[in-house]
Amino acid sequence: MEAPWASDWAIAHAATLARSFRHWLGRDLLPSATDPRALARDVFEAPFVLVSHGTQTDPVLNYGNRAALALWETPWEELTRTPSRFTAEPVAREERARLLAEVTQHGHIANYSGVRIAKSGRRFRIAQAVVWNLLDERGEPYGQAARFDCWEFL
């Protein structure tokens, strides 16, 4: 099986993640990579967690790097079929919805924290997360992404 980051879609998506991050935050998602294929590989292998979802009414995760797959304890094929609201416990989903509405309105937020839940039911608190809107090459809404490297198991 091909590595999840190596498909044409994932290479293009990594470019969207990086371009949108730079648009909203004025800095690079991953400063070292310039070649699209290398960027896709390096983002997938990065030491931080990176996930994204699309623009559906009930958004479905469409990307998770290796750190995200490990943290949520799920393979790529399953993660990328999961409604993103299921990354939070039912009691935290209203808070999560407010967060995403704020990101939609302002383009991004930094320093977000909240409790999430892995496939096994293991709970963890994320901190210092950046959440941003994804824009396609025409500047149209394409989804939202989150990046963080601080979490603790509860």
| Residue 49: strand pairing partners | 148
Domain ranges of the chain: 4-153
Q: Please give the average per-residue pLDDT across 79-108, as a whole number.
A: 85
Is the model's pLDDT at 97 over the cut of 90?
Answer: no
| Residue 123: strand pairing partners | 117
For residue 20, the surrounding DSSP H or E stretch is helix 8-25
Q: Confidence band (pLDDT; 50, 70, 90) for 1? A: low
Q: Confidence band (pLDDT; 50, 70, 90) for 102? A: confident
CA 33, CA 37: separation in Å to the nearest integer?
9
Which of the pair, 149 or 105, is modelled with greater confidence? Answer: 149
Residues 104-139: tens digit of each pLDDT: 889 999 988 889 999 999 999 999 999 999 999 999
For residue 114, the surrounding DSSP H or E stretch is strand 108-117
Give the pLDDT score at 91: 67
* pTM greater than 0.85 (yes/no): yes
Q: Which CATH superfamily is domain 4-153 in?
A: PAS domain (3.30.450.20)
